[in-house]
Amino acid sequence: MRLLRHLVVLFLLFPPVAFANSTGWFFGNTGGTMTFNPTTETLTLTSTITTIFGYGSFFVPIVETGADLGTITLTTGPLISGSILHQAVFDGGAMTLTVDVGFSSNGGNLIPFTLIGTLNAPLNWYVDKLGRAHLSGVPGQVGFGTINGFGVNILDFRQLAVSSGTNQYNVIQGGTTIPEPGTVVLVVTGLGFLAHRTKGRRSQGTG
């Protein structure tokens, strides 16, 4: 019976990602700029996070929208091939995604955090027939980052912009997808609590 209670406690302490969808959390951004530096052949992005969407415990959706939920900045690696006038490939990049708000729902909690990430796969750039510029990585293979010292994968990254001058683009929309933030912390906390409870029971039994 005690073992059953311990297993129930451990189950309740496991993170919401145990029930999450496969795409984790989506952070949508709008506005801002993308600027190409012809000297370093790198692209710089600055934009505002306006949508946060994810699944918490038992598939309860967690959604937050607002005019300014945080910021995302990115500096790509140098141009590998092509031209920003048509098609190009950039050598990954460095990204910072900061969420400034915290909120709760029946599905769980999201607290303010900063993701420091590296896009270690090439980023593809192309201009479509309507003149819109697309920047994106290959879904599921984009990069890696840290949140409060714990590692997290960057599952997807994509941006859509329109030209506003020489080497300058206005961001229409974009998004970044990562797994459930804080997963490692919650798992460690759950296992630590169970070990503490078990050790305490043994001490009482031998006393």
Q: What are 100-125's pLDDT values in tens digits?
A: 988 776 656 778 999 999 999 999 99
Q: Which amino acid is present at 193? A: F
Cα–Cα distance measured from residue 117 to residue 78, given in angstroms and rounded to the nearest whole number: 17
Q: Which two tokens stand for residue 184?
A: 């490692």
The candidate with the shortest Cα–Cα distance to 145, out of 30, 24, 19, is 24
In Å, how far are 21, 104, 159, 179, 188 from 56, measured between CA atoms?
A: 9, 10, 26, 11, 18
DSSP states along 122-161: -EEEEE-TTSEEEEE--TT-SEEEEETTEEEEE-EEEEEE
Residue 201 belongs to a domain: no
CA angle at 172 for the pair 167 and 178, rounded to the nearest 5°: 105
* Domain total in the chain: 1
63: pLDDT confidence band, cut at 50, 70 and 90?
Answer: confident
- Whether the CB-CB separation of 196 and 190 falls below 8 Å is answered with no
**Segment among 48-57, 116-125, 197-206 with least mean pLDDT:** 197-206
Helix, strand, coil distribution of the chain in percent, nearest 5: 20, 55, 25
Residue 37 three-state SS: strand
**Confidence band, pLDDT 50/70/90 cuts, at residue 57:** low
Is residue 65 in some structural domain? yes
Which has the higher per-residue pLDDT, 194 or 102?
Answer: 102
Percentage of the residues of the chain whose pLDDT score is greater than 70? 71
Cβ–Cβ < 8 Å for 45, 34? yes
Task: Check: pTM over 0.85? Answer yes or no.
Answer: no
Query: Is 13 domain-assigned?
Result: no
Q: How high is the pLDDT of residue 55?
A: 65
Between 74 and 138, name the one with better pLDDT. Answer: 74
Q: pLDDT of 6-26, one tens digit each?
A: 333 322 333 333 223 444 789
Residue 104 C-beta-side C-alpha neighbours within 13 Å: 1
Q: Tell me, yes or no, whether 154 lies in a domain.
A: yes
Does 158 map to a domain?
yes
Would you say residue 51 lies in a domain? yes
**Residue 71: CB partners within 8 Å, gap ≥ 6?**
46, 47, 48, 49, 96, 97, 98, 100
Q: Is 106 inside any structural domain? A: yes
Structure confidence at residue 24 (pLDDT): 78
| pLDDT over threshold 50, residue 194 | no
More confident of the two residues 183 and 145: 145
pLDDT at 143: 95
Domain residue limits at 178? 25-183
Token pair 């900045």 in the structure block, residue: 73
Question: What is the pLDDT of the chain when averaged over all its residues?
Answer: 78
Is the residue at 197 inside a domain? no
One DSSP character per residue, 57-90 reads: GGG-EEEEEEEEEEEEEEEE--EEEE-TTSEEEE
46, 71 Cβ separation under 8 angstroms: yes
